[in-house]
Amino acid sequence: METASCSILYTLGFSRNTLNSTINNNHCLPPKSNICSIPSFSSTFPRNFNSHGKNLQFNDFTAFSSSSSSQNHNPSQELAVLLEVDGVLMDAYQAGNRQAFNLAFQKLGLDCANWTEPVYLDLVRRSASNEEKMLVLYFNRIGWPTSLPTSEKDSFVRSVLREKKNALEELVLKSLPLQPGVEEFIDDACNKGIPVVILTSYSKDGDKIARSIVEKLGDERLTKIKVVGNEEVEKSLYGQLVFGKGVSSSLDEQLAKEERKSALAEKQRIAEEVASMLKVSVNIDTTSSESLEKIVVALRAGAEIAEVPVCNCVLIAGSKSGLAAAEQIGMPCVVLRSSFTSRAEFPTANAIMDGFGGADLTISKLCQKRWS
């Protein structure tokens, strides 16, 4: 994992006033309050610690006793919790998405199309969760509607995805429950004065549906937490830097971006030359790198809004992409398994847990453990 500084400020061309007003929120300097402090020494769990009877792992995870906490008080270390929506607040991967696709098929009169659980999971695996590819794979297998011209396959796929999104919104609002224990987890954090930030900006099903899921937490709970969606990310200091609004990045950062663009353009050029010889068409997929950058910006914005240094935030993730982004900026990450990731491996996660509460993830465990 990159041992990054907890601040981006040293590499950016900020004015002295901007630096003074933001450094306490982004760098590992003593914060305003000391709520869940972490001591400077601890006993260490063995790497890849596994609990008995639960699928629970700790990687480079250290703990401390309550007596050492009072004796080794370090006010520069504070905790904030950042929560993803997909697979964390709600496990909509399997039940929600699969049901939504089947409802979309019914709405469009596709009586022959029905995704059982094994079919859905197979399509997810084969397409790497790309829903357009899932539909193409499926209809290539069972046959496309006979009345559909070949030239209209793309528009047909888009219409299915549009109906699926509408169906998922209704399911989220009416029937899909939040993850067991997540409300108590958030309440416990709030009662201990630990900032809780929910990240909706890079949710798989979009900011709007993600916010509908967040609203299930209830009005009272929502007054105690922060929600970081697309608008909040764009208005954040780091978001303004990345999106080029209001803050100028340093020359080094601009050059690094231009180098990445040039490298991708060169890859595309070479691919096109090879394709022309083979008489096929190709396109370099830059989605993964662009998606990762979007998540990194959201995590930075979450830390900024929580007013806690990146290195003292803990991301509770339900996806590999969230874990990868957290690793890139040096943010500890606990992965919560869902139906979609039940068999996935997360070797770089600081901990892997099955759910909230009891023997799984609790605020007390986050307060009693840290990563070296």
Helix boundaries (H) for 143-200 = 153-174, 182-191
Radius of gyration of the chain (CA): 23
Q: How many CB atoms sit inside 10 A of residue 297's CB?
A: 22
pLDDT tens-digit readout, 89-126: 988 766 688 999 999 999 999 988 999 989 998 898 88
C-alpha distances (whole Å) from 51 to each of 48, 354, 359 are 10, 11, 9
pLDDT tens-digit readout, 273-310: 665 666 544 444 444 566 788 899 999 999 999 999 99
CA angle (169 as vertex; 101, 149 as ends), nearest 5: 40
N-term to C-term CA, the chain: 11
Domains in the chain with CATH codes: 81-90+177-246+285-368 (3.40.50.1000), 92-173 (1.10.150)
Higher-confidence residue of 372 and 186: namely 186
- Average pLDDT in the chain: 75
At residue 243, does pLDDT exceed 80? no
Closest Cα to residue 63, out of 366, 310, 326, 354?
366
Higher-confidence residue of 154 and 125: namely 154
- Give me the percent of the chain exceeding a pLDDT of 90: 37
For residues 166, 168, 169, 173, the Cα torsion angle rounded to the nearest 10 degrees is 140
Q: Could you give the CA distance from residue 260 to residue 282 in angstroms, rounded to a whole number?
A: 19
C-alpha distances (whole Å) from 201 to each of 45, 166, 184, 228, 278 are 34, 19, 24, 6, 40
Contact 141, 317 (CB under 8 A): no
Question: Exposed/middle/buried for 259, CB within 10 Å: 0-12, 13-18, 19+?
Answer: exposed
3-state class (DSSP) for residue 216: coil
Can you list the positions of beta strands (E) in the chain? 43-44, 49-50, 57-58, 61-63, 80-84, 196-199, 226-228, 313-317, 333-336, 351-353, 369-371
pLDDT tens-digit readout, 5-37: 343 333 333 333 433 334 344 444 434 443 444
3-state class (DSSP) for residue 31: coil
